[in-house]
C-alpha cells in the first residue's frame, strides 16, 4: 500500500513539496487577503522571459534561471509602480500590459532559440525529477521567506487591514509591501522547476482561498493554508504515482482545487453559511467581537 515510500524520487518530491508548502502558504494567504491573487498570476508570467534568457545563456542551470527570473519579476514590479505613479494608467492596467509583453517576449525568445523542449519541464514542472540544486533552491527560498515573515508579519498585517493607520505609523510604509512582492517573485522562482511557473500559482492561491472559508483568525488562517497546501502536494503526488499518465503538477493543483470546492460548499463561511444566515442584528453583534487582526467575512476587507 505504501510502496511509493520505497522510491527515492518520491521521497525527494514529498520532502521538496513539504518545504515548499511552508514557504508558499503565508505568501498566498496575504495575496488573498490583499486581493492581489491575480497579481500573483501576472508575476508568474512576468518572470518567464528572465527564465528563458537564463536558460539560453547558461543552459540547465537553476542559478542562472533564478537570477534571470528574479530580475524580470522585479523589473516588471518596478515599472508597474512607476507607470501607475507618473501616468494616467492605473496599477492593474499597467501590470496587465507589462506581463503580457513579458510573456510574449519569453515565448518569442524561446522559439527563436530552438530550445523549447528542454525548457518545458521548467515551465510546467518536473516534481519527480528534482535534483540537489533544486532542493537547495527550495530550502533557501523557504528560509528567506519564513525569516522575512517573522520580521514583517505585524507591519504587513497592519498594512493589509488598515493601510492608512500603517502609513501614519511608519516612516517608509511602502517598504513592507515591496518586500512582500519580492517574496512573491522569490517563491514563484522557488517552485518553478517543481511545479512550473504556471502551476506554482495554483499552489499559492487555491489553498489560501479554501482556508479563507474556514478561518476566523489570522493564525488559524495561516496554519490551515499550510495544511491544505501540503495535503494537496502529497495527495497529488500519490495520485500521479498510481496513475502514471497523470502529470504531477496538474494533479497537485487539481487536488487543491478540490479542497477549494469542498470548502466553498461545506465551510461555515462558504455557501453553506450563506444558506443559514442569522438575523442581521446577531450578525452585527458577532462582527463586533471579531479580533481586530483579521477581517470578518461580513466586512469588506480593507486593502491597500
State pLDDT tens for residues 206-257: 999 999 999 889 999 999 999 999 999 999 999 988 887 888 888 899 999 9
Backbone CA torsion sign across 23, 153, 95, 186: negative
> CA-CA distance, 179 to 177, in Å (whole number)?
5
Tell me the whole-structure pTM to 2 decimals.
0.81
What is the fold, at CATH topology level, of the domain defined by 3-288? ABC transporter involved in vitamin B12 uptake, BtuC (1.10.3470)
Judged against a pLDDT cut of 90, whether residue 30 lies above it is answered with yes
Judged against a pLDDT cut of 50, whether residue 81 lies above it is answered with yes
Q: Which of 82, 41, 91, 32 is nearest to 301 (CA)?
A: 32
Average pLDDT, the chain: 81
CA distances from 33 to 129, 156, 213, 292 (A): 34, 11, 12, 14
Measured at the alpha carbon of residue 192, what is the angle toward residues 190 and 196, in degrees to the nearest 5? 155
How is the chain split into domains, by residue range?
Answer: 3-288
pLDDT average, residue stretch 61-88: 84
**How confident is the model at residue 278, as a pLDDT?**
52
**How confident is the model at residue 120, as a pLDDT?**
60
**How confident is the model at residue 62, as a pLDDT?**
76
Collapsing DSSP to helix, strand or coil, 61 comes out as coil
> CA-CA distance, 47 to 54, in Å (whole number)?
11
Model pLDDT for residues 173-209, shown as the tens digit of each residue: 778 888 998 899 889 888 887 787 778 888 999 999 9
Contact 246, 240 (CB under 8 A): yes
**Per-residue confidence band for 281, with pLDDT thresholds at 50, 70 and 90:** very low
More confident residue, 286 or 225: 225
Proportion of the chain above pLDDT 70, given as a percent? 84
Backbone CA torsion sign across 237, 243, 248, 251: negative
**How confident is the model at residue 122, as a pLDDT?**
61
**How confident is the model at residue 150, as a pLDDT?**
93
CA distances from 256 to 207, 239, 242 (A): 6, 13, 18
**How confident is the model at residue 292, as a pLDDT?**
47
> CA-CA distance, 204 to 191, in Å (whole number)?
10
**Which DSSP letter does residue 277 get?**
P
What is the enclosing helix (H) or strand (E) of 124? helix 116-124
Model pLDDT for residues 154-163, shown as the tens digit of each residue: 999 998 888 8
CA distances from 263 to 37, 54, 70, 220 (A): 18, 40, 34, 15
Q: Which of 302, 282, 283 is nearest to 292 (CA)?
A: 302
Model pLDDT for residues 93-147, shown as the tens digit of each residue: 888 888 888 888 887 887 777 655 555 666 666 777 788 888 888 999 999 999 9
**How confident is the model at residue 257, as a pLDDT?**
94
pLDDT average, residue stretch 15-26: 93
Judged against a pLDDT cut of 80, whether residue 279 lies above it is answered with no
Contact 194, 126 (CB under 8 A): yes
Amino acid at each position: 500500500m505504501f510502496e511509493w515510500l520505497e522510491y527515492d524520487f518520491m521521497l525527494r518530491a514529498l520532502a521538496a513539496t513539504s518545504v515548499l508548502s511552508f514557504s508558499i502558504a503565508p505568501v498566498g494567504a496575504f495575496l488573498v487577503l490583499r486581493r492581489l491573487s491575480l497579481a500573483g498570476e501576472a508575476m508568474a508570467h512576468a518572470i518567464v522571459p528572465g527564465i528563458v534568457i537564463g536558460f539560453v545563456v547558461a543552459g540547465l542551470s537553476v542559478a542562472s534561471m533564478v537570477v534571470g527570473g528574479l530580475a524580470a519579476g522585479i523589473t516588471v514590479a518596478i515599472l508597474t509602480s512607476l507607470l501607475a505613479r507618473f501616468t494616467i494608467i492605473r496599477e492593474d492596467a499597467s501590470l496587465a500590459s507589462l506581463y503580457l509583453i513579458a510573456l510574449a517576449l519569453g515565448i518569442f525568445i524561446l522559439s527563436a532559440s530552438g530550445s523549447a523542449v528542454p525548457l518545458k519541464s521548467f515551465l510546467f514542472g518536473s516534481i519527480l525529477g528534482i535534483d540537489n540544486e533544486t532542493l537547495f533552491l527550495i530550502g533557501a527560498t523557504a528560509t528567506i521567506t519564513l525569516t522575512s515573515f517573522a520580521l514583517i508579519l505585524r507591519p504587513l498585517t497592519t498594512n493589509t487591514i488598515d493601510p492608512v493607520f500603517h502609513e501614519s505609523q511608519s516612516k517608509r510604509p511602502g517598504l513592507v509591501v515591496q518586500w512582500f512582492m519580492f517574496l512573491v517573485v522569490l517563491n514563484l522562482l522557488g517552485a518553478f522547476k517543481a511545479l512550473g511557473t504556471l502551476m506554482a500559482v495554483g499552489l499559492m492561491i487555491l489553498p489560501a482561498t479554501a482556508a479563507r472559508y474556514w478561518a476566523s483568525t489570522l493564525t488559524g488562517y495561516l496554519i490551515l493554508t499550510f495544511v491544505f497546501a501540503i495535503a494537496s502536494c502529497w495527495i497529488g503526488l500519490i495520485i500521479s504515482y498510481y496513475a502514471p499518465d497523470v502529470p504531477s503538477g496538474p494533479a497537485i493543483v487539481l487536488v487543491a482545487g478540490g479542497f477549494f470546492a469542498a470548502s466553498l460548499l461545506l465551510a461555515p463561511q462558504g455557501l453553506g453559511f450563506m444558506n443559514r444566515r442569522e438575523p442581521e442584528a446577531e450578525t452585527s453583534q458577532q462582527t463586533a467581537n471579531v479580533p481586530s487582526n483579521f477581517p470578518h467575512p461580513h466586512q469588506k476587507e480593507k486593502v491597500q
